[in-house]
Amino acid sequence: MTFNCRSLLSIEELSRDDIELVLETAWRMKEVGQREVKKVPTLRGRTVVNLFFEPSTRTRTSFEIAAKRLSADLVNFSASGSSLSKRESILDTAKTLDAMDPDLVVVRHQVAGVPKRIADVLAAPVINAGDGAHEHPTQALLDLMTVREEKGEIAGLTVAIIGDIAHSRVARSNIHAFSKLGASVRVVGPATLVPPDIERLGGAAAGAVKVFHSLREGIEGADVLMALRIQRERFAGALLPSVREYAATFGLDRARLRFAQDDAIVMHPGPVNRGVELAHELTDHRPSVILDQVRNGVALRMAVLYLLSGRSSLPAPPEAQSE
Ligand code: NCD
């Protein structure tokens, strides 16, 4: 099987087969991370550039660890301290980078569409690490990986995505990802934080996305509860009466979990506003799988770097590759 995209810009553009190939490759990469020496020579001599115009802890670090586990050279480029603070345009920055011949470029930007514009001028493949409220494809892929690990099959599951849907690229990518693999997706949140046309996302599997403005109804019988951060940096106005009221109506705690399936899992892309989206006891303990998401993020990003670097088939068994 070959990976059909030159860059990874969105889940919307991926086929089911592309998604399956990434997940299968990630599974093999996870094995590398469980060894004593967590490194294979696969991308030796390749250069990966992390181009982050927005703050990030998990995503930037896990791309860095992923690149290093594959023996690539990694350069971190952050907007402050670069010529961007001297008003160089993004496209000029991209062209300058291009002239240095990177092999892969990872881009996060606060404006939707910037990774695509950069991909249009760069010779190297681009990975979107989050663009505005548009998409965050590697997050959705690591979420699929985590759910598959916990539940086996994704088709037939009910996944409730709860919270600030309007400003969330994680929500958009996950709506596409889970509906492409046959899950029913529910979007749960206050009317001010759920965009009116969200049910139309999910493409081919139209009708797979349903909106709920009551937490109880939205999580009733759900297998996966995915809480999202209230993205206060993305909305200036009064979309919420107060954070305390949000926590009282849409925050998850153990008592509310009883409406979901008995074996439901709780996810969050991080960073968590503790006591707002999730009660403390849920953030730290099962059925929360937040740290499994982070762990899988490294393997998943290794898989994406590997597949986009021009390796089109699955890696040889890791034993054969180790140094
Ligand atoms: C998310 C992001 O930045 O889009 N975090 C992440 O990548 N793990 C979600 C968020 O910031 O709330």
Task: Find the CATH number of the domain harbouring 115.
Answer: 3.40.50.1370
Nearest residue to 305 (alpha-carbon basis) of 22, 10, 114 = 22
Which of 170, 226, 277 gets mutated to test ligand 1 (max ligand atoms within 8 A of its CB)? Answer: 170
Asked if 274 and 142 sit in the same domain, the reply is yes
Residue 8 lies in a domain: no
Q: Count CB atoms within 10 A of the CB of residue 131.
A: 26
Instruction: Compute the distance from residue 136 Cα to the ligand 1 centre, in Å.
Output: 8
Which pLDDT belongs to residue 323? Answer: 47
Asked if 158 and 279 sit in the same domain, the reply is yes
Instruction: Compute the distance from residue 271 Cα to the ligand 1 centre, in Å.
Output: 7
Residue 225 lies in a domain: yes
Instruction: Compute the distance from residue 126 Cα to the ligand 1 centre, in Å.
Output: 19
Nearest residue to 48 (alpha-carbon basis) of 89, 106, 135 = 106
Contact 128, 122 (CB under 8 A): no
Q: Count CB atoms within 10 A of the CB of residue 203.
A: 13
Atom 7 of ligand 1, nearest CA residue? 59
How many domains does one find in the chain? 2
Asked if 152 and 266 sit in the same domain, the reply is yes
Residue 255 lies in a domain: yes
Which pLDDT belongs to residue 57? Answer: 87
Residue 5 lies in a domain: no
Asked if 175 and 253 sit in the same domain, the reply is yes
Atom 12 of ligand 1, nearest CA residue? 229
Query: What are the pocket residues of ligand 1 if the criterion is a CB atom closer than 6 Å to any ligand atom?
Result: 58-59, 130, 136, 139, 169-170, 229, 231, 269-270
- In terms of DSSP H, where are the helices of 34-136? 58-69, 90-99, 114-121
Which of 139, 142, 193, 278 gets mutated to test ligand 1 (max ligand atoms within 8 A of its CB)? Answer: 139
Instruction: Compute the distance from residue 9 Cα to the ligand 1 centre, in Å.
Output: 16
Residue 11 lies in a domain: no
Residue stretches of the chain with pLDDT short of 50: 312-313, 320, 322-323
In sequence order, what are the residues at sequence separation of 6 or more whose Cβ sits closer than 8 angstroms to the Cβ of residue 40?
A: 32, 69, 70, 71, 315, 318, 321, 322, 323
Asked if 177 and 93 sit in the same domain, the reply is no
Asked if 144 and 277 sit in the same domain, the reply is yes
Residue 89 lies in a domain: yes
Give the range of the structural domain holding residue 94, as residue numbers without chain letter.
16-135+294-317
Asked if 165 and 222 sit in the same domain, the reply is yes
Distance, CA of 201 to CA of 48 (rounded, Å):
32
Asked if 141 and 256 sit in the same domain, the reply is yes
Residue 6 lies in a domain: no
Asked if 116 and 61 sit in the same domain, the reply is yes
Residue 51 lies in a domain: yes
Asked if 310 and 264 sit in the same domain, the reply is no
Atom of ligand 1 nearest to the CA of 136: 4
Instruction: Compute the distance from residue 320 Cα to the ligand 1 centre, in Å.
Output: 36
Asked if 204 and 268 sit in the same domain, the reply is yes
Asked if 40 and 127 sit in the same domain, the reply is yes
Q: Tell me the C-alpha to C-alpha distance, in Å, between residue 312 and each of 28, 144, 190.
A: 15, 21, 43
Which pLDDT belongs to residue 2? Answer: 76
Distance, CA of 268 to CA of 291 (rounded, Å):
9
